[in-house]
Amino acid sequence: MPVRDAIATDIEEICSLIEEHARYEGNEELRLDRADMARHLFGPDPKAWVLVAETDGEVAGMALCSWIFSTWEARPGIWLDDIYLRPRFRRKGLGRELLTELRARTEGRIEWDVREDNHSALAFYAQLGAEPVPGWVRYRWRG
């Protein structure tokens, strides 16, 4: 199976994928501190985790996630903060495999954001049966 849990030695690939995704979305400035990211993902008190998709031993993409908890459902779920496949690996079923693996890890909900102008992602998520959340507006409070 080409989807696996990331390990500490994947940190360069993970950061490179995130930076590639930022450039794909028009952010040419993003440069991640590898040590900080490694501490947050693989340190003694990890804040998030990553699934890696591989093809023939090459890292094709990843999903960066953290746990959430729904009080009304009384169960944990997954927040999918970032999913990215390198362009040459798209349309090969890897995105579906990443999301299928996430679904297998929780009985709760999986939530994520998508840009409203990303029509190919919107179509892909709809094909999987995912739906937009009506009536909710996301807020952000920066530290």
pLDDT digits (tens, 9 = 90+) for 89-134: 999 999 999 999 999 999 999 999 988 888 988 888 988 888 888 8
Q: What is the CA 63 to chain-centroid distance, rounded?
A: 3
Which SS3 state, helix, strand or coil, does residue 106 take? Answer: coil
Question: Is 139 a residue of the active site?
Answer: no
Sign of CA dihedral 63, 87, 131, 137: positive
Q: Which of 97, 83, 110 is nearest to 24 (CA)?
A: 83
Choice among 24, 84, 125, 139 that is catalytic: 125
Residue found by looking up tokens 């998520």 in the block? 125
Sorted by where each begins, the domain ranges of the chain are 3-128
Among 15-24, 38-47, 52-61, 108-117, which is the least confidently predicted range? 108-117
Q: If you classify domain 3-128 with CATH, what class do you get?
A: alpha beta
**How much is the pTM?**
0.91
